Every structure is written in structure tokens, then in C-alpha cells.
Amino acid sequence: MATPILLDVDTGIDDALALLYAVASADARLVGVSCVAGNVSLGEVTANTAAVLDLAGHPEVEVAPGCAGPIERPLVTTPETHGPTGTGYATLAAPPDRISGRSGIDLIVDRARSDPGEITLVAVGPLTNVAVALRREPRLLHLLKRLVIMGGCFTVAGNTAPRTEWNMHVDPEAAKEVFAAAGRGARSLPLVMPLDVTEQARLLPHHVARLAERAGTSMESLQPLISDAHPLMSFIADALRFYMEFHHRYDGFYGAFVHDPFAVAAALDPSLVSTVETTVDIETGGELTAGETVGDFRGAWGREPNAAIALDGRADLFMERLAVRIAGLVARQE
């Protein structure tokens, strides 16, 4: 049976791929998307999310705007990573009446209450919406089947500061609240997908070319595609070209880490990753380490585990699924 998935996003190029992976997967049923400011502003996140889903042929999926900024800190966005509007070189337009009238917070709480024990919430942006939803419904992590979090780093370097990952860096106070709640009566331990595992999945130009070929198109390179017949493939290629140029400048390889779709894939098939159960807390006051995810791997704190941290994964199998599933989605848009 298909797993009911609720996505919390800050779309974002890899968030867009996560949305596409979710709607392309026969083992998933995307029941809604809540939006949070992070990679870009909330308005841009919400518009991008609705437009990507419409382009993928799924205008029925509810898109609800959540928090416009972190709980305590000013919002910091990352146009150098995702482009000025969040989709790299790709352009999108959402219908003006596409956005839900209820908030992303209400969407999360209402779905959890209406289907207790059924919904998997996959949070691939800052954890602001999840923290605020927990304030409104303290039983949230018991009502959900599972919470999956893309964020943090434990045994590898950060991608924002030496010891911090982007989503945790944007709103560490929210992350601290979520992990504190995870230690109190959650139905299952949250699955945490940190950089340790997501950076094992590198999307390279030949993966995109293979995806296009499977979808019935052809690409010699990641140059702009002018194709009315393949608007979704054009979007993917134009967005990824910007993302790959960013990684070439900052990470030394022409390709891209695809963090967010890996989190969705692991939510659907936990066998894709190997996990360690431990206690996680978030540094909020450090001058150099605000947003650091601190894992107590030796049990020094003597606390019960509140997270299952993925430290290794079957990245090749995930990359194969990513190509096959999104290629199938592109082919269906012709």
C-alpha cells in the first residue's frame, strides 16, 4: 500500500526534486505540502511548490504556507545556492488561486489528527513549522507514523559553517524544540538524514542525461533545453545546471548533492539507510557552532534516545530509483 506522505519544504532545487520523487513513486501518496521560509522567502517557496506540482501533473495536492521566518532569529536565505527565486535558471509560474486557504501549521496538525498513526511527515527545510505545530499539538509525534528530518551533520563537516548544516543553521531554536519533543512519547524515533548520508548521493551530468534518455528525450549536456514537448525535463535541466555550477564553485565537483529526495526515498524505504539510535540536542548559543547537531554516541548524558541517525546508505540504489521514477514522471507529461 502507498505510504501517506506529508512534505514540509522550503523549495529550493533539491526540494523540487523531493516533490517530484514523491509524486513519481507508486509507493507514496502525497497528501499535502506545508511551506516554510528557508532557501528563499515564504512567498517564493509557496509559489515554487505549487508550480512544480502543477508542472508534474498534480494540481490536486494542497500547498499551504507556514512560517515566514525562524522562531527567534531573522531569516537568512541562500540565493547563491538555489538562485534568486529558488529554482536556479528555471522559471515557473503558479496559478494565482493555487495556494491553500489554511496555514501549513493547520495542515500538519489537521492531517495528523485525522489519520492517527498513518502519516509520515518528511521535513526537508528548517524545522520552524514542525516546532510551531508541536506547540499547537503536543501529541504530534505520537499522532504521526513517523517524522523524517533532513538536516544536521555528525561525522562530516557542515555545509554552512564548519559544524552546521543549512536547515539547522536557519532555525536552531526550532530544531531544539523538535528534538526535545522527540524524547517524550513519540510513536517512533524520528529518522534523521544528515549530511553524513545525503552527501553520499551525488547527482552528476551523466545521471541527468540518463534520466532524459529514459524519459524519451536526449541531452548532450546540461545546456538550456528549448522543448515545448518536455517542459518538466526542461525545468529539471535548467534548475540543476545552476545547482551544479554552485557545487563546482564551493565543493569542487560539477554535480549536486540531492539531500531532500534521499530523505523522501528513505521515508518510503528505510532499508536504504543504516541508522544509529542516540540522543541529539542542538546548540543554540555557540559563537561558532549555533545550529550544530550534537549526538551523544557514547551515552554520556544518560538520556533515552530521541533519534535514529542515518550515517550510511545505499546511495547507488537511491540514485537508480531517482532516475527511473522521475523519468517515468517526465514521460507521462508528454
Return the C-alpha cell found at 313: 546508505
Beta bridge partners of 275: 310
Helix or strand holding residue 257 (H, E): strand 256-257
- Cα separation, 76 vs 79, whole angstroms: 10
Cell 544536521, residue?
152
Helix or strand holding residue 202 (H, E): strand 202-203
> Which residue of the set 169, 207, 230, 259 is catalytic?
259
The candidate with the shortest Cα–Cα distance to 55, out of 89, 98, 25, 101, is 98
Return the C-alpha cell found at 241: 545546471
Cell 508528454, residue?
334
- Cα separation, 197 vs 46, whole angstroms: 28
* Interacting residues of 45 by C-beta distance below 8 A, sequence separation 6+: 9, 10, 11, 12, 35, 36, 37, 38, 39, 65, 86, 125
- Is 259 labeled as catalytic in the residue annotation? yes
Catalytic residues: 259
